[in-house]
Amino acid sequence: MSQQKLYYFDNNATTRVAPEVIDAMLPFLRDMWGNASSAYQFGQQVKQHLDDARAKLAALINADPKEIVFTSCGTESNNTAIHSALETSPGKRHVITTAVEHSANIKYGEFLQRRGYEVTYLPVESDGSLDLHVLDQSIRPDTAVVSVMWANNETGVIFPIEEIAAICRSRGVLFHTDAVQTPGKIKLDVKSTGVDFLSLSAHKLHAPKGIGMLYVKKKAKFQPFVIGGHQERGRRGGTENVPYIIGFGRAAELAMSTLDEENTRVRALRDRLENTILKTIPNTVRNGSKEPRLPNTTNIAFDFVEAEAILMLLDQLGICASSGSACTTGAVDPSHVLTAMNVSPMRARGSVRFSLGLYNTEAEVDYLLEHLPGIIAKLRSISPLDAKHPDNDKFDLKAARQKHDHAGHTH
């Protein structure tokens, strides 16, 4: 493993597992490895801790513990909610979601379309916000479910979930929200918000990857996605991943206690990073509205530069950040989120997301701010893109790498 210090600004991709979470998990790997479904004490002790963790997740979102279903990840939670809504709404074959969802929704929607369902992907405004009038007008008699994320993972833009839930309720349509990016950043309350389904993923709140949760409102009809044993009150087959659920529970507890710090210290770090970049580096703009927005996320377009090249040079300095672009067959497709916001393909391919977290320090932000202007200036000086080629279409990653390597040799 690399000994270089890590400057991690990619907390929307995944987060470091908190030491407290690891400590909580270890006994369930080492000693208490019984099956929570077994009737003997060795199993039932484990079951008690499982129930504790369930109660902690319930507290995080103000739900009843019986409304919490553990899954394998955020993706499974999202798929399950939409699957269940369709299966329990006979004759309804229309789903509404947005054009800026996580691929967990976008790709599941495409799967459904191939199976003969109809899916509406709601457009967004240029600042990433939703027009609720359009949402309301998209609801049809055969709409089974509306699925809208609480906060966007690429831009941090927050959607008005309470208002959307109210619209769905008044129209008699089920409402699911992908809240994966929200714990520890926004106060969550499923009761006052009135959602039917809500997805979380542990690895976005300082717990391990491979464990998720779906809130299913009491009395809501439900059809499992993973069919098997009677675990999770018959709502999700598969022996419970006890150590990970325990870790998830501890992380939920921590997220409630760090909400303030995320919204003060982390927000101030994010704001300083964003403001300094926008002020000191020419031809930069923020993607997405300033507010309402997650306190940890900033997405910035560096015009006339490729994000992939910026990320490569940052990586050499131990700095982790990301772009929403998908790299397919050697060429880079611009982020579907920025594309939906009508950001030009060139600007979208020059956009970088920095997502901060509880473990970031002032000194780390200083380090990033110390190196970034030079990186941008250097890339602009060798850039294959410039104002003369605004519709430069596909970015050739291979050529950029060669160019980048060549640039490296000159220093």
Which residue ranges make up the site for ligand PLP (CB under 6 A)?
12, 73-75, 102, 104, 149, 153, 178, 180-181, 201, 203-204, 212
Task: Give least dist CB 170 to ligand PLP, A.
Answer: 26
Which residue type occupies 70? F
SS3 content of the chain, % helix, strand, coil (to 5): 45, 15, 40
Catalytic residue among 73, 168, 320, 327: 327
121 or 304: CB nearest ligand PLP? 121
Give yes or no for a contact between 127 and 341, defined as CB atoms under 8 angstroms apart.
Answer: yes
Nearer to ligand PLP, 78 or 383 (CB): 78
User: Half-sphere exposure of residue 204, counting CA atoms within 13 Å on the CB side?
Assistant: 23
The nearest distance, CB 378 to ligand PLP, in angstroms, is 31
Q: Rounded to the nearest whole angstrom, what is the least distance from the CB of residue 140 to ligand PLP in the complex?
A: 26
Contacts of 118 (CB under 8 A, 6+ apart): 93, 94, 95, 142
Please, which residue, 203 or 235, has the CB nearer to ligand PLP? 203
Whether 327 sits among the annotated catalytic residues: the reply is yes
**Measured from the CB of residue 13, what is the shortest distance to ligand PLP in angstroms?**
7
Question: Nearest to ligand PLP by Cβ — which residue?
Answer: 74
The least distance separating ligand PLP from the CB of residue 186, rounded to whole angstroms, comes to 13
CB-based contact 119:147 (threshold 8 Å)? no
H or E segment to which residue 177 belongs: strand 174-178
Task: Report d(CA 109, CA 105) in Å as an integer.
Answer: 6
CA distance 371 to 188: 37
Cβ-based neighbours of 81, under 8 Å, separated by 6 or more: 145, 147, 176, 197, 199, 214
For 379-397, give the DSSP string.
Answer: HHHT-S--TT-TT--SEEH
**Residue 398: CB atoms within 10 Å:** 9
Q: Of 74 and 183, which CB lies nearer to ligand PLP in the complex structure?
A: 74
- To ligand PLP, the closest distance from the beta carbon of 72 in angstroms equals 8
What distance in Å separates the CA atoms of residue 180 and residue 196, rounded to the nearest whole number? 15
Q: Which is nearer to ligand PLP, 28 or 150 (CB)?
A: 150
d(CA 387, CA 55): 56
Pick 179 or 346: Cβ nearer ligand PLP? 179
Token reading at 244: 């990970």
Catalytic residues: 327
